[in-house]
C-alpha cells in the first residue's frame, strides 16, 4: 500500500499461562506439597523440580510466560503504523515497540489507551507481587516426553516473561490518541479512521482509505446494546476489502441467557449462605455485571449483600468509567446531562454496596469483609491475583460458587491445578462480540468486494464439529482465508492516484470536445511531489539556465494529433500556400507525396505522417508542419 | 463558487452577541448564536431578518455551530430555533450541550421573572431547542451532508469550548469562538493543526493587550481575600453557577490547602454539587494535570469548600461565600450583599461583567448607597473589587494561532473596532496575508482559489515514478509532465497520450520529421557520434541524453550517424511534440556543418 506497513492490533496469547502453577499471595501448603513429575525413563537433572503434578495434570512450576505475536514473519522496525482496536488487543504492544528498533506511530482511542494502561498495569502488578525465584526452561527441550496438553503447547520456546512497568509505560507513551471518525493522514499515503465498534469503551474498527480504495478492518465488535457507544456500520460499507476478525469465542452461548443464569446462580448460592467468586478483568463486562446483579439482588431482597471489587486498579477503573461519557451508549450519555454518573456503580459505591480495594491485604479490607458476599477479582486464568487466594480459601466448601464469565480461558483448565474442588463451578461465558449469525448478516449488509477471514471461521469450532451453522458463509463475496504464520497478498489493484492540478494551470487548458461527454486537453506542467502528495503546477521557465543554448521544454502545451489526414485537402492547401509541385503516389499503407523541387518526401499513413526534408534553413519544413497541422484533428 | 462570504450578524467590530453567517461552496453555516448582555430590547438578539424577512430560516441555513456555552455565544439559540423557526442541525460539544441549557434557563428566569419581560423564550423552548443538538467529539470529522464537513478542536477558554474547522470541497474556514492559548487552572491551551484554511475567523477581545500574566491577577485576588478574612471580614463573590466559579474554587481550594487556612469557604450556587458534577464527569476536557490526578483526587471534589446554608449569613467571624447570581440583581447573592454591605470590614469581589441597571453595575461604578424597590436603602461601606478572569487569547496568542494553522486570510470578530484595526495592521505586516474586519451586517467577500483534485492513471503514475527512480536523486530537478487531461462524465484524469486516445476511442496520429545533415568529419563514424553526443549533452544540462550504437537520443529526438571515413550523414528525427527540441538540435548540428566538430 504505497509502501506502507500497517499492523492491525497486537494481541497477546495468554493461553500459555494455563500450563503454569498458580501464584498464591500467601504460600499454599497444598501447592507446595504437590509431587514432582518426571517423564518415565528420564533422569535429566535439569528438569527436576520444573514440573509438578496435580490431580493427573502436569504443570510448570515457574513464573508464567506469554506467547507474543510471531516475530519472525516481520521486522518490527519496518512497521509504519499500528492500529489498536480495543484494550484487549494491545497486550503485546511492549514486545513490539520496545527494544526492536520500532519507530512507527501507534493509534488508539483515548479509552483504549487509558483502560489498556490499567489493564496491563494490573497484569504486571499481579506478577510482580508474587515473584518466582527460579525460571523453568528445560522442559521446553523435552516437549516430546511430556503428556498433553503441555506437549501440545504452541512454540513454547518463543514464550516470554511479562515486561515490567517501565517498559510498559515507555511503550504506551508511543500511543497517539484519536477520536472516532477522526481522519488521520498517515505520511500522506493513506487515511485511517477509527469508527465505533460497540464492543467495549472506546473500541473501534478501522477504515483505511487510499485515494480510490477502501479497506475495512473489523475486530471485536458488538451489535448488542450494552454500555458502549453502538457500532457504526455505515462507515464500513462497500469496502474493496473487509478483514473480519474478533468474533465470539463462545458461539454457542447467548450473552443474555448467560447473564440470567449468572444472576440466578448468585442468588441461590447466597440463599444457601455461600459466597460467590467471579474472576474478571478490571473493565468491560463487569460494569454491566455490577448494574444487572445489583438490580437482581434488589428484586430478590438481597440488597444487603456486599459486592467486593478487588484489583490493584479497581479505583482507576471505576473512576475512568464515569468520565468517558462520550464513548457510551446514548442512554448512559444522557445521564450526564442530568448531571448524574453514567454508570449506576458510582451510586453503588456511594451507598457502600460495592466496595473496592486494591488488594486483599489493603487497609480496611479485613474490617469491611463479611460473608456471604460477591467477590469480583482478577485474574480470570486463576494463575495469579486475588482469585487464586479465594479459590484456595473457598475451594473445599460446597456452599460457595465460582462463576466464570470471561471467555478467554477454558474454565476446566483454569481450575485444573485446584482439583479436587468441592466448591461449585458454573460456566456462564459472556462474550458480546459478534456471533456467526450476526457476522454473516453484517457481511451481507456491508457488501465488501473481497472478504478476508482467519481459517478458523470457515469450519465449525473444534469443540462443536457438528454445528455447521457456526461458520462464515458468504457465497456472494470473494473470500480469502488467512492462517497463522502465513503471508497472504490481497487483491487490491490501484487503478488511479489522486493528484492536484493548480488553478492557474487549469485555466490555461482548452479542452477539445472529441465526442459528446468526452473532452481532451494536452497538459504540460511541473510535477511537484511532497509528502506523498502530487501537484501539477504551471511550468515556470527558470532563470538559472543561461548556460543552456537549447530551450528547456516550453510551458506551452504541445498538442497531440489524431485521426487521419485528408490527402486531397492537404494537397489543395499546399497549392494554396504556393507549393504546387506535390506529386501523390499511393503506397502499400497510404500515400507518398513527393515535392520534387525540394527533394522532400511526405509519407502519410492512417496513423502517422513522416516528413523527410533536407533543406537546411527549415523554412519549408516549418511551413509543411503548419499546413499538415491544419489538416489534422488535435487536442 | 470561488468566493467565501462572511457576514457578522453580531460580534462584527463588537464584543458580545456572536453570530456570524458563513457562505462557503454554496453552503450557509451560522457560527454561534449569542445574545448581547448589555441590551434589554431587540438589539439583544442578532438580526435574523437579515437572513429572511419573514418565516422560518431553516431553508436558508445548512447548520448552526455553537462554540461554547457562554450566553454571548448561545443565548439567542432557543429564540432562533423556537421563535424565529429553525429545525436544521445544531452542533456543539457534549459539555456545551450539558451546560448551555442551565445557563439559558438561569438567564430566562432573570429576564422573565425578575425583569418581567414578555415575549421571551420559555423553559420548554430551551428543552425543545436542545433536542435538535448533535454532539461532536474533538477531532471527529462530521459530515453535515455529503459536501459539508466540520471538525472540532480544543479551544481552552471554558469547559467544552471548541474551535471549528468547516470544509466544502477544497475550501475551508476555521472559526475560533473564544479561545485561550495558555493553559489555566483547570483547562488546557487551544490547539489546532496546520490545516491551512482559506479564512481564520478569530475573536480579538484582547487584540491589543499582551496580557499581564494571569498569575498576577490570581495572586492579587488571593491576597485581597486573605487580607479581608485576616481582619475578620466576610468575602462575597457573586458568580454564575458554571464556568469561572469552578476556576475560582480551585484557586481558593489550593490556596487554603497551601496556607493551611481554617476560615470557612462556602459555595451557595443554586446547583452546588450538581454544577461541580459536570466538571467531574467532563474531566477529559480539563487540563493534563487535573486529568492525571483525578483518580487519586478529583479536583472538583472540594475539601475546603462546603455547601452554604442561609443561616450562615449572620454567623460571626470571617468567611468566604460564592453565591449566585453573578450580577447581584436577585437571589441569594443580593440577599447576602444587603446584610454585609454596611460593614467596612467586608468585601465583595465581582469576577465578571455586569449589565447596566443591576446592583453589581451600580456598585462597580462607585455607588455608596443602593436603593431597592421597597424603599430600602443600603449603605455600601464594604470594599468593592472588580477582577476579570476571562480567558481569552491576547495579541500574542492570536498571532500564535495564525502561525499554527497558516490561514490564507484572517477575519477578526468579537472585539472593539479600534483594537481590531491595530491587530489587522500587525497581521498584514507580519504574515503578509489579508485581514478583514467587517461590521455587523457587512459582508466580507474573500477569494479562494484552489488546485483541482483530479486523478492520474496508474500507468502514467508508474511510468513517472519509474522515470524518476531511474535517475540519480536530485531534489532540485524539475519533473516535467507531458500528458493529456481526459474529461469524461464529469471525471477528470491525466493519462499519457496513447491511453487518452484509447479512452476517447480515437486513434492517435503521430507526426515525425527527419532531416539529413552532411558533415565533413574525417575519422570513424563512432568518433563522430561521440563528438555529437558530447556537444549535445553539454548544451542540454537538464536532459537525459543517451548514446546507443551510433545513435543519440533525447526524449523522442533521435540523431543517427551514418557514412564513410570522410563524409557523414547525420539523420535528425523527432516527433512533432518535441518540435522545439528537435529543430534546435538540428540547428545545432547544422551550425557545425561547414567547420569541424568543436
| pLDDT tens per residue across span A49-95 | 888 999 889 999 999 999 888 767 778 888 899 999 999 999 899 99
Q: Cβ contact (<8 Å) for B94 and A326?
A: yes
Q: Give the confidence band of A440 by pLDDT, cuts at 50, 70, 90.
A: very high
Residue whose C-alpha cell reads 457465497 in the numeric block: A475
Cis peptide before A177 (omega within 30 of 0): no
Residue whose C-alpha cell reads 497581521 in the numeric block: B427
Of B197-211, B273-287, B422-436, which one has max mean pLDDT?
Answer: B422-436
Inter-chain Cβ pairs, chain A and chain B, closer than 8 A: 263
Q: Cβ contact (<8 Å) for B478 and A611?
A: no
Mean pLDDT of all residues in A325-330: 92
Q: Which residue has the higher pLDDT, B68 or A488?
A: B68
Q: Cell numbers at residue B525, please?
A: 563514424
Cβ-Cβ contacts under 8 Å, B482 against chain A: 522-524, 553, 558
Minimal Cα–Cα distance from A234 to chain B, Å?
13
User: Which residues are paired to B225 by β-bridges?
Assistant: none
pLDDT over 70 at A5, yes or no: yes
List the one residue out of B480, B485, B561 whose CA is nearest residue B525: B561
Nearest to B509 among A340, A554, A563 (CB): A563
Cβ-Cβ contacts under 8 Å, B552 against chain A: none
| Choice among A207-211, A630-634, B466-470 with the minimum mean pLDDT | B466-470
Q: Cell numbers at residue A559, please?
A: 498538442
Cβ-Cβ contacts under 8 Å, B590 against chain A: 616
pLDDT over 80 at B38, yes or no: no
Q: Is B285 exposed, middle or buried (0-12, 13-18, 19+ CB in 10 A)?
A: buried
- Where does B51-199 have alpha helices with state H? 71-74, 77-78, 94-109, 123-131
What is the predicted pLDDT for the residue at B353? 67
If phi over 0 gives left and psi between -120 and 50 gives alpha, with beta otherwise, what is residue B188? beta
pLDDT tens string A493-512? 777 888 999 888 888 888 88
Q: Give the confidence band of B598 by pLDDT, cuts at 50, 70, 90.
A: very low
Element containing residue A591 per DSSP (H, E): strand A590-595
pLDDT tens string B26-36? 999 999 999 88
What is the predicted pLDDT for the residue at A298? 95
What is the predicted pLDDT for the residue at A541? 56
> Rounded CA gap, B213 and B86, in Å?
42
> Rounded CA gap, B98 and B102, in Å?
8
List the one residue out of A326, A177, A327, A319 whose CA is nearest residue B291: A319
pLDDT over 70 at A294, yes or no: yes
Residues 176-235 of chain B with CB under 8 A from chain A are none
Nearest to B484 among A496, A502, A635 (CB): A635
List the one residue out of B594, B541, B595, B533 whose CA is nearest residue B558: B533
Residues 62-121 of chain B with CB under 8 A from chain A are 94, 97-98
Q: Cβ contact (<8 Å) for B585 and A550?
A: yes
pLDDT over 60 at A226, yes or no: yes
Mean pLDDT of all residues in B125-152: 95
pLDDT over 70 at A268, yes or no: yes
Cβ-Cβ contacts under 8 Å, B97 against chain A: 337
> Rounded CA gap, A261 and B541, in Å?
83
Distance (Å) of CA A528 to CA A491, A501, A532, B270? 30, 10, 10, 62
Distance (Å) of CA A6 to CA A178, A294, A425? 16, 43, 42
Q: Give the confidence band of B343 by pLDDT, cuts at 50, 70, 90.
A: very high
Catalytic residue (one of B3, B5, B203, B502): B203
> Rounded CA gap, A70 and A11, in Å?
11
- What does the angle CA B320 – CA B326 – CA B328 come to, to the nearest 5 degrees? 90
Number of C-alpha atoms within 13 angstroms, CB side, residue A567?
A: 18
Cβ-Cβ contacts under 8 Å, B150 against chain A: none
Distance (Å) of CA A439 to CA A216, A347, A453? 14, 36, 11
Of A460-464, A568-572, A576-580, B199-203, which one has max mean pLDDT?
Answer: B199-203
What is the predicted pLDDT for the residue at A540? 67
Q: Helix A619-630 and helix A567-576: axis angle, to 10°?
A: 130
List the one residue out of B428, B46, B171, B393 whose CA is nearest residue B436: B428
Stated pTM of the model: 0.85
Q: Which of B511, B558, B584 to mutate to test the interface with A (most CBs of A within 10 A)?
A: B511
> Rounded CA gap, B161 and B100, in Å?
11
> Rounded CA gap, B598 and B591, in Å?
11
Q: Give the confidence band of B272 by pLDDT, cuts at 50, 70, 90.
A: low
Average pLDDT, chain A: 88
Q: Cβ contact (<8 Å) for A502 and B140?
A: no
Nearest to A526 among B453, B479, B513 (CB): B479
Q: Give the confidence band of A343 by pLDDT, cuts at 50, 70, 90.
A: very high
- SS3 of chain B: helix, strand, coil, percent, to 5: 35, 25, 40
| Torsion angle of C-alpha atoms B68, B69, B74, B75, degrees rounded to 10 | -160
pLDDT tens string B288-333? 888 888 888 777 888 888 888 888 999 999 999 998 888 887 788 8
DSSP state of A138: G
What is the predicted pLDDT for the residue at B597? 47
B493 in contact with A, Cβ within 8 Å: yes
Element containing residue B23 per DSSP (H, E): strand B19-24
Q: Give the confidence band of A543 by pLDDT, cuts at 50, 70, 90.
A: very low
| Choice among A103-112, B66-75, B298-307 with the minimum mean pLDDT | B298-307
What is the predicted pLDDT for the residue at B210? 66
Mean pLDDT of all residues in A157-177: 93
The string of DSSP codes covering B333-388 is HHHHHHHHTT-TT-EEEE-S---TTSHHHHHHTT-SEEE-TTS-EEE--SEEEE--
What is the predicted pLDDT for the residue at A549? 44
Q: Phi/psi of residue B119, each to 5°?
A: 55, 35
The string of DSSP codes covering A506-535 is HHH---EEEETTEEEEEEEEEEEEETTEEE
Contacts with A572 (C-beta within 8 Å, 6 or more apart), sequence order? none
Nearest to B584 among A179, A497, A551 (CB): A551
What is the predicted pLDDT for the residue at A296? 95
Distance (Å) of CA B398 to CA A209, B181, B184, B204, B401? 35, 8, 17, 8, 5
Mean pLDDT of all residues in A145-157: 83
What is the predicted pLDDT for the residue at A545? 43
> Rounded CA gap, A406 and A404, in Å?
6
Q: Helix A165-172 and helix A110-129: axis angle, to 10°?
A: 170
Q: Is A535 exposed, middle or buried (0-12, 13-18, 19+ CB in 10 A)?
A: middle
Is residue B566 part of the annotated active site? The answer reads no
Contacts with B258 (C-beta within 8 Å, 6 or more apart), sequence order? none
Q: Give the confidence band of A547 by pLDDT, cuts at 50, 70, 90.
A: very low
Nearest to A500 among B451, B464, B509 (CB): B451
Cβ-Cβ contacts under 8 Å, B576 against chain A: 558, 561, 625
Mean pLDDT of all residues in B116-125: 86
CB A82 within 8 A of CB A93: yes
> Rounded CA gap, B155 and B132, in Å?
23
Q: Which residue has the higher pLDDT, B555 or A624?
A: A624
CB B357 within 8 A of CB B111: no
B293 in contact with A, Cβ within 8 Å: no
Q: Which residue has the higher pLDDT, A399 or A522?
A: A399
Amino acid at each position: 500500500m504505497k509502501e506502507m506497513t500497517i499492523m492491525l492490533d497486537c494481541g497477546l496469547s495468554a493461553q500459555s499461562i494455563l500450563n503454569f502453577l498458580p501464584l498464591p499471595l500467601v504460600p499454599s501448603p497444598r501447592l507446595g506439597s504437590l509431587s514432582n513429575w518426571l517423564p518415565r525413563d528420564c533422569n535429566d537433572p535439569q528438569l527436576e523440580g520444573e514440573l509438578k503434578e496435580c490431580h493427573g495434570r502436569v504443570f510448570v512450576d515457574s513464573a508464567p510466560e506469554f506467547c507474543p505475536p510471531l516475530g519472525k514473519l516481520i521486522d518490527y522496525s519496518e512497521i509504519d503504523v499500528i492500529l489498536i482496536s480495543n484494550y484487549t488487543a494491545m497486550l503485546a504492544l511492549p514486545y513490539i515497540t520496545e527494544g526492536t528498533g520500532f519507530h512507527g506511530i501507534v493509534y488508539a482511542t483515548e479509552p483504549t489507551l487509558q483502560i489498556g494502561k490499567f489493564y496491563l498495569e494490573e497484569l504486571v502488578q499481579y506478577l510482580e507481587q508474587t515473584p518466582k525465584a527460579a525460571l523453568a526452561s528445560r522442559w521446553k527441550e523435552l516437549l516430546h516426553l511430556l503428556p498433553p496438553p503441555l506437549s501440545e503447547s504452541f512454540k513454547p520456546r518463543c514464550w516470554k516473561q511479562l515486561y515490567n512497568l517501565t517498559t510498559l509505560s515507555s511503550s504506551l507513551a508511543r500511543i497517539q490518541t484519536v477520536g472516532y471518525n477522526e481522519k488521520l493522514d498517515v505520511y500522506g499515503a493513506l487515511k485511517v479512521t477509527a469508527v465505533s465498534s460497540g464492543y467495549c469503551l472506546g473500541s473501534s474498527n478501522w477504515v483505511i482509505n487510499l485515494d480510490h480504495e477502501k479497506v475495512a478492518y473489523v475486530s471485536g465488535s458488538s451489535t448488542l446494546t450494552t454500555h458502549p457507544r453502538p457500532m457504526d456500520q455505515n462507515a464500513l460499507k462497500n469496502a474493496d476489502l473487509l478483514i473480519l476478525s474478533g468474533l465470539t469465542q463462545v458461539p454457542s452461548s447467548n450473552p443474555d441467557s448467560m447473564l440470567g443464569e449468572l444472576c440466578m446462580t448468585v442468588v441461590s448460592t447466597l440463599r444457601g449462605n455461600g459466597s460467590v467468586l467471579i474472576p474478571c478483568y478490571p473493565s468491560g463486562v463487569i460494569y454491566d455485571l455490577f448494574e444487572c446483579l445489583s438490580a437482581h439482588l434488589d428484586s430478590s431482597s438481597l440488597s444487603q449483600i456486599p459486592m467486593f471489587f478487588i484489583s490493584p486498579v479497581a479505583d482507576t477503573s471505576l473512576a475512568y468509567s464515569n468520565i468517558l461519557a462520550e464513548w457510551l451508549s446514548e442512554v448512559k450519555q444522557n445521564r450526564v446531562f442530568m448531571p448524574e454518573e453514567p454508570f449506576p456503580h458510582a451510586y453503588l459505591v456511594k451507598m457502600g454496596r460495592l466496595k473496592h480495594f486494591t488488594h486483599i491485604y489493603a487497609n480496611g479490607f479485613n474490617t469491611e469483609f463479611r460473608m456471604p458476599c460477591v467477590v469480583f477479582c482478577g485474574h480470570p486464568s486463576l494463575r495469579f491475583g486475588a482469585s487464586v487466594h479465594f479459590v484456595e480459601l473457598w475451594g473445599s466448601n460446597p456452599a460457595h460458587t465460582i462463576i466464570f464469565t470471561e471467555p478467554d480461558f477454558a474454565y476446566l483448565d483454569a481450575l485444573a491445578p485446584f482439583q479436587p474442588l468441592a466448591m461449585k463451578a458454573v460456566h456462564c461465558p459472556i462474550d458480546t462480540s459478534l456471533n456467526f449469525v450476526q457476522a454473516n448478516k453484517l457481511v451481507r449488509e456491508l457488501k465488501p468486494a473481497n472478504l478476508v477471514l482467519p481459517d478458523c471461521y470457515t469450519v465449525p469450532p473444534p469443540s462443536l464439529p457438528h454445528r455447521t451453522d457456526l461458520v462464515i458463509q458468504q457465497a456472494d463475496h470473494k473470500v480469502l482465508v488467512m492462517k497463522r504464520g502465513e503471508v497472504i497478498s490481497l487483491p487490491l489493484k490501484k487503478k488511479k492516484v489522486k493528484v492536484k492540478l493548480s488553478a492557474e494551470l487549469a485555466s490555461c487548458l482548452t479542452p477539445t470536445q472529441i465526442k459528446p461527454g468526452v473532452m481532451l486537453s494536452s497538459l504540460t506542467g511541473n510535477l511537484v511531489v511532497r509528502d506523498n502528495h502530487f501537484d501539477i503546477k504551471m511550468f515556470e521557465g527558470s532563470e538559472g539556465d543561461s548556460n543552456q543554448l537549447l530551450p528547456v521544454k516550453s510551458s506551452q502545451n504541445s498538442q497531440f494529433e489524431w485521426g487521419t489526414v485528408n490527402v486531397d485537402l492537404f494537397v489543395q492547401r499546399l497549392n494554396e500556400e504556393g507549393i504546387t509541385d506535390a506529386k501523390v503516389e499511393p503506397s502499400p499503407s497510404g500515400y507518398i507525396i513527393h515535392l520534387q523541387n525540394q527533394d522532400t518526401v511526405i509519407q502519410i499513413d492512417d496513423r502517422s505522417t513522416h516528413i523527410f526534408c533536407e533543406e537546411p534553413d527549415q523554412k519549408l519544413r516549418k511551413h509543411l508542419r503548419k499546413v499538415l497541422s491544419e489538416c489534422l484533428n488535435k487536442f | 463558487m470561488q468566493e467565501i462570504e462572511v457576514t457578522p450578524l453580531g460580534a462584527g467590530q463588537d464584543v458580545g452577541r456572536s453570530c456570524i453567517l458563513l457562505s462557503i461552496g454554496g453552503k450557509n453555516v451560522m457560527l454561534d448564536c449569542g445574545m448581547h448582555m448589555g441590551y434589554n430590547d431587540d438589539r439583544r438578539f442578532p438580526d435574523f431578518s437579515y437572513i429572511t424577512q419573514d418565516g422560518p430560516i431553516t431553508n436558508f441555513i445548512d447548520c448552526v455551530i455553537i462554540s461554547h456555552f457562554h450566553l454571548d455565544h448561545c443565548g439567542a439559540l432557543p429564540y432562533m430555533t423556537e421563535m424565529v423557526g429553525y429545525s436544521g442541525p445544531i452542533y456543539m460539544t457534549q459539555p456545551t450541550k450539558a451546560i448551555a441549557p442551565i445557563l439559558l434557563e438561569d438567564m430566562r428566569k432573570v429576564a422573565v421573572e425578575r425583569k418581567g419581560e414578555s415575549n421571551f423564550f420559555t423553559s420548554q423552548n430551551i428543552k425543545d431547542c436542545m433536542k435538535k443538538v448533535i454532539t461532536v467529539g474533538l477531532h471527529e470529522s462530521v459530515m453535515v451532508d455529503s459536501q459539508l464537513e466540520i471538525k472540532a478542536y480544543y479551544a481552552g477558554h471554558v469547559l467544552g469550548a471548541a474551535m471549528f474547522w468547516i470544509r466544502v470541497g477544497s475550501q475551508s474556514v476555521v472559526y475560533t469562538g473564544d479561545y485561550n492559548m495558555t493553559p489555566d487552572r483547570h483547562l488546557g491551551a487551544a490547539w489546532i493543526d496546520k490545516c491551512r484554511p482559506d479564512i481564520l475567523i478569530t475573536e480579538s477581545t484582547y487584540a491589543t493587550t499582551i496580557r499581564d500574566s494571569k498569575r498576577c491577577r490570581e495572586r492579587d485576588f488571593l491576597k485581597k481575600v486573605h487580607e479581608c478574612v485576616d481582619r475578620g471580614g466576610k468575602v462575597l463573590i457573586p458568580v454564575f453557577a458554571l464556568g469561572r466559579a469552578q476556576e475560582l474554587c480551585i484557586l481558593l481550594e489550593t490556596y487554603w490547602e497551601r496556607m493551611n487556612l481554617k476560615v470557612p469557604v462556602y459555595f451557595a450556587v443554586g446547583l452546588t454539587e450538581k454544577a461541580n458534577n459536570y466538571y467531574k464527569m467532563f474531566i477529559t476536557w480539563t487540563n493534563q494535570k487535573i486529568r492525571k490526578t483525578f483518580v487519586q483526587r478529583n479536583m472538583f471534589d472540594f475539601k475546603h469548600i462546603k455547601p452554604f446554608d442561609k443561616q450562615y449569613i449572620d454567623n460571626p467571624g470571617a468567611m468566604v461565600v460564592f453565591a449566585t447570581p453573578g450580577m447581584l440583581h436577585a437571589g441569594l447573592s443580593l440577599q447576602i450583599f444587603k446584610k454585609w454591605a454596611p460593614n467596612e470590614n467586608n468585601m465583595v469581589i465581582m469576577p465578571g461583567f455586569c449589565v447596566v441597571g443591576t446592583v453589581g453595575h451600580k456598585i462597580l461604578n462607585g455607588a455608596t448607597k443602593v436603593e431597592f424597590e421597597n424603599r430600602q436603602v443600603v449603605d455600601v461601606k464594604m470594599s468593592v473589587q472588580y477582577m476579570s478572569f476571562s480567558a481569552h487569547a491576547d495579541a500574542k496568542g492570536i498571532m500564535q494561532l495564525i502561525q499554527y494553522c497558516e490561514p490564507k486570510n484572517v477575519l477578526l470578530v468579537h472585539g472593539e473596532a479600534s483594537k481590531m484595526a491595530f491587530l489587522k495592521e500587525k497581521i498584514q505586516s507580519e504574515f503578509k496575508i489579508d485581514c478583514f474586519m467587517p461590521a455587523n451586517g457587512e459582508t466580507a467577500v474573500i477569494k479562494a482559489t484552489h488546485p483541482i483534485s483530479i486523478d492520474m492513471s496508474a500507468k502514467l503514475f508508474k511510468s513517472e515514478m519509474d522515470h524518476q527512480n531511474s535517475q540519480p536523486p536530485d531534489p532540485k530537478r524539475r519533473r516535467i509532465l507531458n500528458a493529456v487531461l481526459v474529461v469524461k462524465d464529469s471525471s477528470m484524469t491525466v493519462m499519457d497520450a496513447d491511453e487518452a486516445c484509447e479512452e476517447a476511442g480515437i486513434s492517435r496520429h503521430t507526426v515525425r520529421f527527419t532531416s539529413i545533415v552532411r558533415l565533413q568529419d574525417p575519422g570513424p563514424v563512432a568518433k563522430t557520434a561521440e563528438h555529437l553526443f558530447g556537444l549535445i549533452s553539454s548544451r542540454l544540462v537538464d536532459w537525459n541524453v543517451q548514446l546507443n550504437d551510433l545513435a543519440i537520443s533525447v526524449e523522442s529526438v533521435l540523431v543517427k550517424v551514418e557514412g564513410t571515413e570522410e563524409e557523414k550523414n547525420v539523420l535528425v528525427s523527432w516527433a512533432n511534440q518535441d518540435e522545439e527540441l528537435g529543430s534546435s538540435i538540428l540547428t545545432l548540428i547544422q551550425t557545425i556543418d561547414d567547420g569541424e566538430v568543436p
